Amino acid sequence: MSNISLSAYRNWIPTFDPNQSKSLSYTKWEDRSPEDRAESIKARADVVATFKRWVEVDRQMAADAKGHESHYRGAPNVNNLTREQALYQIEYMSELIQSGEAEKTALSAAKGTQTTSNYRQYVYWVQQHLEALDSEGAGQCTLAQA
């Protein structure tokens, strides 16, 4: 970040004089003092230098990202899934595996404190979780069944 002074920015802000017919007007370059001109030129040079640094940082980041996986897919923690969400995750992840998309994008998934980057492992965990949810639901008696 550049250390451009506030007074240098003031040279770019239009002056306001309520007695003028126009509410905003810029000071003409010729009417400025040599110090104001020098300060304005320096401020503009600082902005240009800052912009060039930003462009260079962007170029460096793009060069660093080449050949690296820059995107990943996050999946919800298995232990927090409802039955409907688990069914959706199984279907969605299975489609990604079968289509080959799973090989193109890294995965970040968890079951409690365990983590994995393997799509098949995640689907297996979700299937186990779904079975646990179904077995819990089978033992419960609802009002309609009573």
Residues 13 and 105: their CA atoms lie apart, in Å, by 48
Q: Which two tokens stand for residue 136?
A: 């819990």
Please answer whether residues 2 and 46 qualify as being in contact, where contact means their C-beta atoms are separated by less than 8 angstroms: yes
How confident is the model at residue 53, as a pLDDT? Answer: 87
- Single pTM value for the model: 0.49
How confident is the model at residue 120, as a pLDDT? Answer: 96
H helices present in the chain, as ranges: 6-10, 34-65, 83-99, 119-138
Residues 26 and 138: their CA atoms lie apart, in Å, by 78
Domains of the chain, residue spans: 6-65, 72-137
How confident is the model at residue 146, as a pLDDT? Answer: 40
Per-residue pLDDT of 74-122, as tens digits, reads 899 999 999 999 999 999 999 999 999 888 888 999 999 999 999 999 9
Ranges 4-13, 28-37, 67-76, most confident: 28-37
Residues 43 and 3: their CA atoms lie apart, in Å, by 9
